[in-house]
Amino acid sequence: GQQVMQIPQYQHVQEGEDFTTYCNSSTTLSNIQWYKQRPGGHPVFLIQLVKSGEVKKQKRLTFQFGEAKKNSSLHITATQTTDVGTYFCAGRTSGTYKYIFGTGTRLKVLA
């Protein structure tokens, strides 16, 4: 079945450093979403990417969808303590409403 892997599993950074998480799907995706889950909280939608090679920015966050629509990345510039949490990608294949979540990357930011 479809699998979505993320690397790294954990990342500790000093405040102000950059952070990147990578998401890889075993199958071609129709679209991909990114969510953030704070410790003890629930996943909260960040963004959606649909087009091959698409790049979207939200303030310090940059999201990219690969040309082959099988991978994606999230880059955070100059991390802040408020960026702490687990970042998940969730991929959907065409013909289904089903989103498969990636394994997640847990980010810890040291002040």
28: tokens are 């071609």
Report the alpha-carbon distance of residue 47 to residue 56 in Å, rounded: 8
Q: Of 45, 55, 68, 80, which lies in the binding site for another protein, with binding defined by CB under 8 A?
A: 45
Q: Which is nearer to another protein, 12 or 38 (CB)?
A: 38
51: tokens are 């087009």
Min dist CB 83 to another protein, Å, is: 19
3-state helix, strand, coil in the chain (%, to 5): 5, 55, 40
Instruction: Please answer whether residues 101 and 5 qualify as being in contact, where contact means their C-beta atoms are separated by less than 8 angstroms.
Output: no
Q: Of 11, 27, 62, 103, which lies in the binding site for another protein, with binding defined by CB under 8 A?
A: 103
Q: Which is nearer to another protein, 3 or 80 (CB)?
A: 3
**Pairing, β 105-110 against β 10-14:** parallel
Q: Which is nearer to another protein, 95 or 111 (CB)?
A: 95
Q: Contact between 42 and another protein (CB under 8 A)?
A: yes
**Contact footprint for another protein (CB under 8 A):** 30-31, 33, 41-45, 48, 50, 88, 96-104
